Amino acid sequence: MNLKNLNRLTSPSNLFSSKTMKRSACLIFNSVAGQGDSDQDLAMIKSILEPEFDLDIQFTTKEVSGGELARQAVEGHAEIILASGGDGTVSAVAEALINTDIPLGAISRGTANAFANALGIPDTVEAACKVIVDGATRKVDAAMCNDKPMILLAGVGFEAETVEDADREAKDRLGMLAYVLSGLKQLREMTQFTAEIETPDKIITVDTAAVTIANAAPPSSVLARGTAGVIFDDGLLDITILSPQTAAGAIATSIQLLQSAANEETVEREGVGYLRAKWVKVTTDPSQKVVLDGEIIGKTPIEVKCIPGGLTVFVPLESEEQADEQLDNLPGIDVKLK
């Protein structure tokens, strides 16, 4: 067990002063998330958590989002806020808790469960509730992208096109497979653009097909995997640059990125570069679409700033993988030190 990780974890004894005293917790529950039985899920959540917490259960509706309910709970001085639903609900609640020090408990019930998978939180209801009951919390990073909260990642180019192309009906029916099928289509139609990537110490100019800036990312976020394990509490953003020269090369690179995610090894392949930075600005020619935490938010340029330790989360302890900067694999790259 990594001693550095141990020091970052708040022990249960620090969070709960007495087993006989219940803490209040606001549970924000999305009844239409996932494909399971929401009534059964809620019953299980209550059976596990109610002996430990005074639960205030709030339900999302078409009119009131999880983010709005979370903001109301913050204004009401909630001690703990729990989010149960898909990635949209969990991310919206998490965004409302940035820089509040209110612990977030994630009980993911969606298809992808990207937030939970990125932080190593179990994506079954029973196991996720046990993490919350155990009571250990951890400070993790958050970020701002063009003044919008960012929990997971921002994608420029290929990833944004893939997300936009994935049909809503297909996503409901096929889940993550809808993104895979859309991605294969985009690989065949891949186009490159010129990107200027500015960090605190350098300016990079390169022809690329995709730039992905990750605060945290699950293994399924293939284009964020140049550095293998994205570290979610190091105060840095993980930037992956994909510059394949042909569609065949793009497919081969994507396969290696997928293997990198599975094996937690950095990618050593022509056309893949990566680096870490506190903040990054991306300008492109021509302008490119941008996806932020799964939603299209507009076009480049974008500026992303890390918020170190901006979010407190109930999360199991897990080891981390460090990765070095790698830019030499990008053809035609120009790097100027500042």
| pLDDT tens column, 238-252 | 998 888 655 555 555
pLDDT at 272: 80
pLDDT at 223: 59
pLDDT at 236: 94
pLDDT at 336: 86
Provide the residue type at 311 as one letter: L
Cα(224)–Cα(210) distance, integer angstroms: 10
Listed as ranges, residues in the chain with pLDDT below 50 are 1-7, 13-14, 16-18, 165-171, 173-184, 225-226, 256-263, 267, 319-321
pLDDT at 221: 58
Cα(67)–Cα(56) distance, integer angstroms: 16
pLDDT at 232: 87
User: What is the phi/psi pair of residue 247, to 5°?
Assistant: -65, -40
Name the token pair of 41.
């899920």
Cα(291)–Cα(185) distance, integer angstroms: 18
pLDDT at 159: 66
pLDDT at 290: 93
pLDDT at 246: 57
Omega prior to 301 cis, within 30 of 0: yes
Provide the residue type at 121 as one letter: I
pLDDT at 68: 97
pLDDT at 244: 67
pLDDT in tens, 144-183: 999 999 999 898 987 665 555 444 444 454 444 444 444 4
Cα(273)–Cα(327) distance, integer angstroms: 5
pTM check: above 0.85: no
pLDDT at 17: 45
